[in-house]
Structure 1
Amino acid sequence: MFFTEEIYYKAINFAGEAHHAQFMPGSTIPYVTHLANVCMEVVTALTQSSDSSLNGDLLVCCALLHDILEDTPVSYTEVETLFGTAVAKGVAALTRNTLLPEAEQIPDSLQRILRQPVEIRMVKMADRIDNLRQNPLLWSNSQRKTYQDEAQVILKTLEGCNLYLEEQLRKKINSYNQYLEVV
């Protein structure tokens, strides 16, 4: 159920190096902060879960590496070689297929996530929880509404994977209303 320190350090160091020149949108905060936040969400969910079958190492690795294929030159093969097939498949499922039209990317990713172990669903929820923490004021109201609507789809599609994460995501979706202009 828990995770090993070695795998955490290996994954955070690898992710930190791969994302080294990236920053949170509109800030000077290193992007690795987002990865650590997602990891903290899943670790909190792990400690509050009564499901002893959860694979903590898979959960932590995928949380820390979830954007590595999408946002860096790191390849699937590299992830598979360093972290194993289960992690590589999980990270691949969490990666948007940018060859698809934008409107199809989230539904496609969610369908791939549903074919993975429950830990991957947990990472997706934790990712959106942290993304909803960010101040979206650089976006138009329409973009903000779309993002909130996507979060609702994620919650509905992945519901049942972890009560703690579901509750956190619901709270973030509701609090995101503060960023939406009344039309």
Structure 2
Amino acid sequence: MVRLTNILEKVKGYHPRADTDLINKAYVYASRMHDGQMRKSGDDYFIHPVSVADIIADMQLDASSVCAALLHDVVEDCEVSLPEVKTVFGEEVAFLVDGVTKLGKVNFASREDRQAESFRKMLVAMARDIRVLLVKLADRLDNMRTLEHMSTPAQERIARETIEIYAPLAGRLGIQWLKAELE
């Protein structure tokens, strides 16, 4: 499992003056919010946001992006509101988290309608800040790495989305290693 110290060392390596206190704060906060949650694999859920943050650090993104990676599921999966994220971590981190967060308690006629609206939301946010897409791509990559724990229909749906949407986006951004692993 990736540790916070690994992520902080990576970030300091490419951005010596990065706000590592903010990253540490996001790590502790996300750990507390995800406490007791499990992945379908049976692993502690918190492994996922830490892995996503590690991928973001590999991309050499800023501290706000690493924080957003750590916090990307707290609004969606925990009892945390976006205004709370904004109060605790600031507007920039909250914007990134919001851009990655799937639509919540809105009723849609179908899964496809919900998915289309979630993509629309992400694309609008991405137009303002490409880091939204980079966090989403890192999230998808980590989910693909653990896909074997999902049902066969879910595996097929997620793999199809990845091949049709996420891998081409990574390619268009020139992140060939990410595109290759997503494929």
Kindly indicate whether residue 52 of structure 2 is the aligned counterpart of residue 43 of structure 1: no
Identity of aligned residues (%): 25
Partner residue in 2 for 1:143: 154
Map Cα deviations across residues 88-109 of structure 1 (whole Å, 9 max, x no partner).
Answer: 1221221111423321333322
Counterparts in 2 of 1:161 and 1:58: CA distance versus 1, 3 Å: farther
Aligned residues of 1:59 and 1:123 also touching (Cα < 8 A): yes
Q: Deviations over 1:69-115 (max 9, x none)?
A: 11000111100101112221221221111423321333322322233
> In the alignment, which residue of structure 2 is the partner of 1:83?
89
Give the conservation status (yes or no) of the 8 Å contact 1:66–1:91. Answer: yes
> Residue 31 of structure 1 aligns with which residue?
45
| Whole-angstrom CA distance in 2 between matches of 1:59 and 1:30 | 22
Question: Could you tell me which residue of structure 1 aligns to residue 72 of structure 2?
Answer: 66
Two-structure CA RMSD over aligned residues (Å) = 2.0
8 A Cα contact 1:110 1:154, kept in partner? no
Query: 5+ residue gaps in structure 2?
Result: 1-13
Q: Which amino acid in structure 2 is aligned with residue 136 of structure 1? A: E
2:174 aligned with 1:168, yes or no? no
TM-score (norm. length: structure 1):
0.78
Shift, 1:40, TM fit: 0.6
**Alignment check: 8 A CA contact 1:45 1:162 kept:** no
Q: Give the TM-score taking structure 2 as reference length.
A: 0.78
Q: Secondary structure at the match of 2:114?
A: helix
> What is the distance in 2 between the residues matched to 1:154 and 1:126?
10
The residue aligned with 1:92 is 98
* CA apart distance, 1:137: 4.3
Opposite residue 37 of structure 2, the aligned amino acid is: Q
CA contact (8 A) 1:42 1:126 kept: yes
- Tell me, in whole angstroms, the C-alpha distance in 1 between the residues paired with 2:169 and 2:118: 11
Aligned pairs, how many? 161
CA contact (8 A) 1:118 1:161 kept: no
